[in-house]
A and B are shown apart, each in its own frame.
Chain A
Amino acid sequence: MHVMAQLAMVMNLDKCIGCHTCSVTCKQAWTNRAGTEYVWFNNVETRPGQGYPRAYQDQDRWKGGWELNGRGRLRLRAGGRLRKLFSIFANPLMPSIQDYYEPWTYDYDRLFSAPMQADTPVARPRSLITGQPTKISWSANWDDDLGGGPELASGDPVLRKVSDQVKLEFERAFMFYLPRICEHCLNPSCVASCPSGAMYKRSEDGIVLVDQDRCRGWRMCVTGCPYKKVYFNHRTGKAEKCTFCFPRVEVGIPTVCSETCVGRLRYIGLVLYDVDRVAAAAATPDEKDLFEAQKGVLLDPHDPEVAEAARRSGIPDDWLEAARRSPVHRLIFDYGVALPLHPEYRTMPMVWYIPPLSPVVDALSETGHDGEDAGNLFGAIEALRIPLGYLAELFTAGDPEPVRAVLRRLAAMRSYMRRLNLGQDPDESIATAVGMDGARIEDMHRLLALAPYDERY
């Protein structure tokens, strides 16, 4: 057992209001400079939707992440490293600027400088790439709130997999938001793709970084990352990516995106993992088993053996303590409500998500059922506006069972807590039905609803 520590994040999508404050504060702090105009270390996508860059989840096209070869061994999906090295100068597996978006500004100065003229001055758009007047046809968040309707949403690679279950029409409309940063994977395909060895994973906290001195701008990391969270700075000619705000977290301040998240849906915590088990877990044959395999790599910080091994690996006691109090660990294990994003990419991503519960489709209510009654709530999960299958394609390689289990727990929490809210006796059977007890539900409720600043991070 070789214990390493990893900073990880959980985002509760059930609480995400899609406001994009995280994106703006991140961009203002890190990427509002020449060369990174189009770069959003943190972005928020409306799902269903194409995401940023456009349709990045379509790995048949982009070949990001890992796959298993015929012998069941991991290989970069974009091809073995040899092929990679040979295709350095002609990489077809790179999103173009149009797949991100062509950044622009406006002729704001006209508002002051326009001479006497026949009509009101106006600031027209101008490309930041070419400097020429431009027609805006794509942006960092073009299909926000289902903008573009059925036409664009049908280009969502995730939706395509479950399109038989989904109708993009007014009465059945559904959406939720997916905020994304770098996954700071345990098995990062970007790092493995880098021919210069410029990318690395910090050994103390697992943050994945690009060494700006060493990066040669080959951009294989961009291809290698299935989440498309490594970007190319066209001014410096180097790769840049989310740093997990290491200058902040090193001094005990949460990441910008977390601290400024007004939905209060982000949790940061330390998890411990056995680095020796990563590769084997990532090579788990059946994609649907990858979620459990990934959990299996993480270690229980309360286990004395783990603690001992951690000490041997040089992890200080206060880090161990942090791992024990980690809200991330609790959400993954104690409450079992957090899931990784696209485990089938086999990168062992370390930003986890609580899937969105609501809203319950109206069909259920029309039957006259009380939406708060536990039994009906569980039933309702089958009738969610957001198809279970869609969530499963995001979080569990298509296996609906783990998603269902999470949603049942969230529903049980609401049902259990409602009785307390109304001054009624607690009903343990609600908790039991989802494999919990009342006390654990109340603790989970505290973490999900109440947790103040210092308990979220």
Chain B
Amino acid sequence: MTAMDGPVSDALLRMGRHLRSGTVSPDLRTLHQVGGRRADAFYRDRWSHDKVVRSTHGVNCTGSCSWKVYVKDGIITWEAQETDYPSVGGDRPEYEPRGCPRGAAFSWYTYSPTRVRYPYARGVLVEMYREAKARLGDPVEAWAELTTDPARRERYQSARGKGGLVRIGWDEAVEIVAAAHVHTIKEYGPDRVAGFSPIPAMSMASHAAGARFVSLIGGAMLSFYDWYADLPVASPQVFGDQTDVPESADWWDASYLLVWGSNVPVTRTPDAHYMTEARYRGQKVVVVSPDFSDAAKFGDEWLAPHPGTDGALAMAMGHVILKEFFADRVTPAFTGYAQRFTDLPFLVRLREHDSGGYVPDKFLTDADLSEGGGEGGGGDPFKTVLIDARTGEPVVPNGSLGFRYRAGGEGRWNLELGAVDPVLTLLGHVGAGQAVKVALPRFDVPGGVLHRGVPVTEVRGHLVTTVFDLLMAQYGVPRDLPGEWPRGYDDPAQPYTPAWQEGITGVPAARAARIAREFATNAEQSGGRSMIIMGAGANHWFHADQIYRSFLALTTLTGCQGVNGGGWAHYVGQEKCRPVTGWAQLASALDWSRPPRHMIGTAYWYLHTDQWRYDTYSADTVASPLGRGTFAGRSTADLLSASARMGWMPSYPTFDRNPLDLADEAAASGQEPGAWIAERAASGELGFACEDPDAPANWPRVLTVWRANLLGSSAKGDEYFLRHLLGADASLRAGEAAPEQRPVDVTWRPRAPRGKLDLLLSLDFRMTSTTLFSDIVLPAATWYEKHDLSSTDMHPFVHAFSPAIDPPWQTRTDFAAFHAIAEAFSTLAATHLGTRRDLVAAPLMHDSPDEYATPHGRVDDWRRGGAVPEPGRNFPKITIVERDYGATAARMAALGPLLDTLGATTKGLTFQVAEEVERLRRRNGTVRGGAADGRPSLARDVDLCEAILALSGTTNGRLAAQGFATLARRTGTAFDGLADEHKQITFADTQARPVAVTTSPEWSGIETGGRRYSAFTINVEHRKPWHTLTGRQHFYLDHDWIHEAGEALPAYRPPLDMTALFGEPGLGESGEHGLTVRYLTPHSKWSIHSEYQDNLLMLTLSRGGPTIWMSPADAAKAGVADNDWVEAVNRNGVVVARAVVSHRMPEGTVFMYHAQERVVDVPKSETSGRRGGIHNSLTRLLVKPTHLIGGYAQLSFAFNYLGPTGNQRDEVTMIRRRGQEVDY
């Protein structure tokens, strides 16, 4: 060969090459070598291990990925994804591998320098406690003394978050914790104790262990799905369901995919391949995102609406679909679907409005027919009415709420229409002929009102129209009716045309129209296989429920809901605990006592961190110009207290008294406790705690946080938490409400308390912003060190955590830790508390006859001129629960007797589980002696896992079959063959390999025969009603407060105006604190919430610390260069971070990716002089009044199903370049 250069160098090299065995290419270019490669030994040694253990990560990422954990010499070395998920059929990509870089970096934590290895406590607290205990000789008395002495209390509270942690022993740690609980229960009441641990699906047993302890002692478990703002409130509003969505393998079935406000490659990393691969099948992908996101890379098209204006785009798309597929022509697939599966044909009464003209009012019901003397079975206000095209007469079809619980409804709660042909529009309908103008609110201009005609008819003296006709008016689809209508798509002045949205979103009108047309055309061609993946980018806004309703209108109008490959695909939070029934029984200790105390997290934090005191606006700021003034002069805190006193939403602490004492007094009175309480409340003798949240008697006293990082992650208004709940230093800059802005029903105390909590306890395996502020930190086992169960929305499997190593150092599993706490508690409680009766106030519950409490959604507030309070109607339900406090540990470790008699209920369906209890007795063993004698044992974490699986239909086919049989009696329709009666999944099965769950009435999708999970296929294919008023998917809501908000129909509501509400500078203005921009906190690529943001691997792959992304234009205005230190400041607090300047960002908006907390590389702020804050230091809670509605059909409370959201997206901040030399 002569292709090479240079003879001299060749000679030299030849010498080197020939010193080795092997084949050298003739030109000396390459050395080939076989065998004799001892030098490879290093790499061979490194690739060796003693065992591989299957586990997963419990981190609320929806991943629920099965991982191989490699162990060598008893040390965890690294991890890699399992690839053995059961096949999904071979006609589509398989679930392998699933995982992400965060998960791959997890083992770093095991031996990392941030690992919590021992119990820690604040030194000053321990010192004082030891001194008091030595003197008093009793832990409870010691705790009582040091928490009631203002000086000592202040001493340890003000030290929170300022170092000074010391190692203590487990025994002493749990003794202090137990003493705090006992004292609190005795002195203030069990509802002053709270537990916060989110997302059971991500590690069910670890959640249940602690929640079970809290529930047994009568403490309140705080909700998380709504608090995280991951709950799409539109889901209960529209579907009567918390959230139910397709698994990711079903994306493959979609032939048109809108990815809206969801950054799939980053936030659904393990499943993103279904999107990339479905494109090869010809799926069109349209990405809607304000920035050029990771997802936008995959979009055939990228639409970039201005942040928070997604609703405007969706409304315009709805306009196009209604125009082209309903008005211009009839699309049978769409209208047939609408007639059967939506509320569109139902009749709504019109009411004359003061302004002249009409406004839409309440659904016409059977009761209205009876009043008019016509037909109707008993005048039921929960049976809605439509017109049958064959007769032109009103009929009450099957399936509405009235059929669900009433005696006569058996066999008729279904969507069978028989021969009835529902009329969608009265236009051209016999008997119609007239049209009236209705007034409809618009929110894009102040005080805006639209006047548009609808065809009407009269039924029994009521002027009515259909929901469909109202929808056409709302969307502004002209049909030769009176009123103001758009001239065409290009009319920018009239909602909701494509041109109108262009002015708001910046998306060209023609593109919006074309995407809408494509979406619907595809649905028509494919039988409903158009899908919208929607995420936090759209769901975390104050008015997200309205944004989502405008999205859901698109999927519902086109018949995509309940179809494989179609419908909404909302993925925000790992909400799907597939074995839900078993988990719920155990976590809430329903086997021992009912009801549990379940609290809405947002309201809890809003009140107890005193954010309500900083509300400088009236609640009617968000009201409709057409409202009756219900919210006028009231603050959000007032509305919250109204919701609590009417029993709509739960409220803990409930009363301004210890509920143990109330129970005793009620018993002494000889009266029925509910009546006794209601009387006292009505007379004013007894107050609700939420009416005076700053009174010391009403403070929460003990809070336990586990599997969570409240203060580094989810705490919207973090600085308010620090100041008021903890009494620590804070960088809060906001001013309190002026006298005329203050609540009228809630007591305003002159000085806001600082330091309400006596004890903040956290359990974690790493140091977080929460552990840094905790009084006691217990060292937790990691996900590679325990037994547990995992499930998710994204795939249909349950699978196990298994310990690759035993918990090292002094770490313990959550299960073991809570059992230790329970033991210590029981010992102290036996003498200090004994057996007590506890008066529990519970709200009106969803999926129960409580939904009948408020006919027509007419509010009956006994405090404001309504009828007298009546528990279970317009007042919470009152139950007396006996608590044997000394038996707490024994009860925790055994399956209690209530299951045998009361069964287990999920979503209104009760399973009889006596057989399962017996089976668990055999499998787990039986407790002998003590308070749980003869009961099945739950002494070990695997016992708990086994019980979860045995008591759920998804994992126990016998229960699924039984549930479908029970359901069939009510619906009168058949569910034969859906359940796999013989399938029983044991914990060992889930350890061996992920196991597919079976179809169960606990959920709405069909997986039978290897089908992919898609929500509502049971409803569509088996005519099972949705859990709503009409039994159908709702476009229309008629509760008084919904009308007050002007949200009876989907509407566009712009982001909140922070200048108007709080006096923040206007967007784009520059001042002392810098440039004012929108402040968004999307999910990060390098962490899952705050987990991993401190992980060295993730920090190395990113920028090594907190960052804020901004556009080059904004950076130029603020004088910022890439990687400069910047400060972001608003009234809520201060953030110090590095700037990432990128043309990927739109002008006017900055991102601080979610949950960058204060532990790593956060210097002191120039503005506050204190440590910079977390991403939520710039946000705060803003409670939307309509989320507080309860006691009415689907708008009734269930835990994590309905409640005010902890939204945070409407915020603004000022941002500026700061001094580049920073202090730590």
Contacts and interface: CB of A to CB of B under 8 A. Distances in A.
Interface in B1075-1116: 1085, 1094, 1096-1097, 1099-1105, 1109, 1111-1112
Contact of B282 (A119, A192, A414): A414
B17 A169 contact: no
A246 B45 CA distance: 12
B1162 interface: yes
A23 B29 CA distance: 30
Contacts, number: 417
B47 interface: yes
A258 to B, nearest CB: 10
Contacts of B20: 197, 200, 214
B1143 A261 contact: no
Contact of B104 (A104, A111, A260): A260
A69 B5 contact: yes
A84 B5 CA distance: 13
- Most B CB contacts (10 A, CB to CB) among A15, A121, A124, A283 go to A121
Nearest to A188: B30
Interface residues of B, number: 146
Contacts of A142: 1103
A119 B1170 contact: yes
Contact of B297 (A25, A188, A358): A358
Contacts of B304: 170
Contacts of A85: 9, 12
Interface stretch (B32-40, B794-802, B868-876, B888-896): B32-40
A175 B292 contact: yes
Contact of B29 (A192, A214, A245, A448): A192
A122 B1160 contact: yes
Interface string A186-197: 011001101111
B782 to A, nearest CB: 15
A283 B34 CA distance: 27
A69 B1163 CA distance: 55
Interface in B1056-1079: none
A180 to B, nearest CB: 14
B302 interface: yes
A139 B1104 contact: yes
A173 interface: yes
Contact of A211 (B28, B39, B1141): B39
Contacts of B116: 112
Candidate in B37, B282, B1171 with the most chain A CB atoms within 10 angstroms: B282
Interface string B256-281: 00000000111001101100111111
Contact of B1144 (A175, A202, A359): A175
Contact of A359 (B37, B299, B1170): B299
Contacts of B1094: 106, 108, 123
Contact of A28 (B9, B28, B79, B1163): B79
B3 A282 contact: yes
A431 B101 CA distance: 38
A142 B1140 CA distance: 10
A410 B279 CA distance: 10
B157 interface: no
Instruction: Bin chain A's interface residue count.
Output: 35 or more
B1122 interface: yes
Q: Which of B31, B280, B1096, B1102 has the most CB of A within 10 A?
A: B280
A137 B1138 CA distance: 10
A294 interface: no
Contacts of B6: 75, 80-82
Interface stretch (B196-204, B508-516, B1211-1219): B508-516
B1034 interface: no
A243 interface: yes
Nearest to A413: B280
Nearest to A358: B298
B1101 A417 contact: no
Given A170-B1144, A260-B104, A279 B3 contact: yes
Given A203-B33, A264-B273, A136 B1161 contact: yes
A149 B302 contact: no
A361 to B, nearest CB: 9
Interface in B75-107: 77-81, 83, 90-94, 96-101, 103-105, 107
Contacts of B39: 211-214
B344 interface: no
B421 interface: no
B80 A261 contact: no
Given A197-B31, A421-B255, A261 B269 contact: no
B457 to A, nearest CB: 40
Contacts of A29: 46-47, 78, 80
19 contacts: A17-B273, A21-B99, A21-B269, A24-B105, A30-B46, A75-B6, A82-B8, A141-B1101, A147-B1103, A149-B1142, A170-B1147, A191-B30, A197-B31, A214-B20, A260-B97, A264-B97, A362-B511, A417-B281, A445-B280
Interface of A: 4, 14-15, 17-21, 23-25, 27-30, 32, 69, 73-75, 80-85, 101, 103-106, 108-109, 111-112, 114-125, 136-137, 139-142, 144-152, 168-170, 173-176, 187-188, 191-192, 194-197, 199-204, 209, 211-214, 243, 245-248, 256, 259-264, 275, 278-280, 282-283, 356, 358-360, 362, 365-366, 368, 370-372, 410, 413-422, 445, 448-450, 452-453
8 cross-chain pairs, A with B, having the tightest CB-CB distances, nearest first: A418-B282, A81-B9, A114-B163, A17-B265, A116-B164, A75-B5, A136-B1104, A28-B78
Interface of B: 1-6, 8-10, 12-13, 16-17, 19-20, 22-23, 25, 27-34, 37-40, 42-44, 46-47, 77-81, 83, 90-94, 96-101, 103-105, 107-108, 112-114, 116, 120, 123-124, 159, 161-165, 255, 264-266, 269-270, 272-273, 276-285, 287, 292, 294, 296-302, 304, 508, 510-511, 514, 518, 525-526, 729, 767, 769, 772-773, 1085, 1094, 1096-1097, 1099-1105, 1109, 1111-1112, 1121-1123, 1140-1147, 1158-1164, 1170-1171, 1224
